[in-house]
Structure 1
Amino acid sequence: MGEPRLKSVQCSSPAGLHRMAYKEWGDPANPRVLVCVHGVTRVADDFDALADAMSDRYRVVCPDVAGRGRSERLRDPNLYVVPQYVADMVTLIARVTANDEDEAVHWVGTSMGGLIGMILASFDNSPIRRLVLNDIGPVLDPAAMARIGEYIGQDLRFPNFEAGARFVKDVSSSFGPHSDAEWHKLASDVLVQESGGEWVRHYDLGLARPFAAITPERAEQDQAALWAAYDAIRCPTLLLRGELSDLLSRATAEEMTRRGPKPILAEIPGVGHAPTLMHANQIAIVRDFLSTE
């Protein structure tokens, strides 16, 4: 459906202003907007296949969350937290729905992107009309969170792209089976070459700072707040779960179907955390749900 347009919007934080980059697919005048938000160390490019498939029906907007990819880094790494991301998305939605009276959007969020969507969808007068949560819920497995936090903060450097790509494939094995070309894309989206020639991951290592501050007491409080937010959601919701996910347990997913928006649950076989939404069968599940109005 054509090449995406690269744009940005200026957002604010307590530490100052920052620009958040985003990719926009489809007819720029289409009032039907689908916002797709990636996981904690990933980027907007993750949704290229989904966005291309959905751009006949939607204007698809895929941001690089602050500190990742093309977006600017925050001056204070302690602000790499969901409330700041939610504020940035409110700014983004205001920009992309400027000509739409009710500022309505549909939302697909993978992992962290799902948490952002969950909080935003819980608000009174939320702009989110239909919500897809991709392998995320109000209960975050402590072991999985510790694994992610440790992974984020490592200052890893690779002598060439091939070495970096092997690393990305190894640490992303839970994404499930992908072709060599798909693994190459998944790596090239999140690796960047520095001026000295080394390849590094394309995000601010300061993302790890908030993870280091999590205590058991704080984790318990956060989980209670997430369940409260989830229970306040009223829009139609689809919950995707990787069959082998270590971040969203089957028990939590089943509990989610009984609470809050009582979502449709679709489990992706042979996949852990998280389905990449690159394959036709996964895209079809999302498309069918969003097209049911």
Structure 2
Amino acid sequence: MTVLVFGKTGQVATELARVGGDDALCLGRDEADLSDPAACAAMIRETRARAVINVAAYTAVDKAEDEEALASVVNGDTPGAMARAAADRGLPFLHVSTDYVFDGTGDVPWREADPVAPLNAYGRSKLRGEELIAAAGGQYAILRTAWVFSAHGNNFVKTMLRLSAERDSLRVVDDQIGCPTPARAIADALWRMASVMADGHPGGLYHFGGQPPVSWCAFAAAIFERAGRDVALEGIPTSAFPTPASRPANSRLECRALEADFGIAPPDWRAGLDDVLRELGEMG
């Protein structure tokens, strides 16, 4: 089954190209300008693909505080235009969103129906995309995920490996809890969902995050242990590492709906981490 994919070099897009092979028609920034909603919609109206997956986004969380208008177009208006075009063609439209649509309070996993209240511009832009996609009137699936990592692109795993090669000790935030999620697992889930939706499944709003939940500091400890890096770690509060954009303290995601509807279980991030470290040649 041929699938039109918006995104080419990002973490999930790279894995979708691996999963889909020649059936994944991946569009890079030079082919699809995400700041131009009409142009992206036109590509969907012209495609012969049986489904559309959007994994392209404005992801510079801190920079979005100063560029919220652009982030809102790329993460909101353009996915909305894509979803309307897909609806006009009768094509399933799948889109990746984020835990940042929540305010991060509490200590229990977020469910799909929980109230949304983004803390930052990036979260607001992604929520706008969710709302416009749902209002487009077509067959859609929104997959909220968190803490994405892989062997390529920019992510926490690669940053920790780089820093541990430069320093003997690191201070890492220990009061933000979330679900590290392998990009490959997200790609596998999206591809399976697209296939099932092409056969008539209505889709909906779903959560997908690696298990078990863990803090950034504990995630770093697992990275160093598995990579054989001798690094002294100090857990610090978020207040000791201020950033332009506020981060949610609780990014746990409840993933039972996706498993019930599509038979897709949340991945064990530790197994995914081992795969990534092997690909990077970093297993201890």
What's the TM-score, normalizing by structure 1? 0.33
What's the TM-score, normalizing by structure 2? 0.34
More helix by share: 2
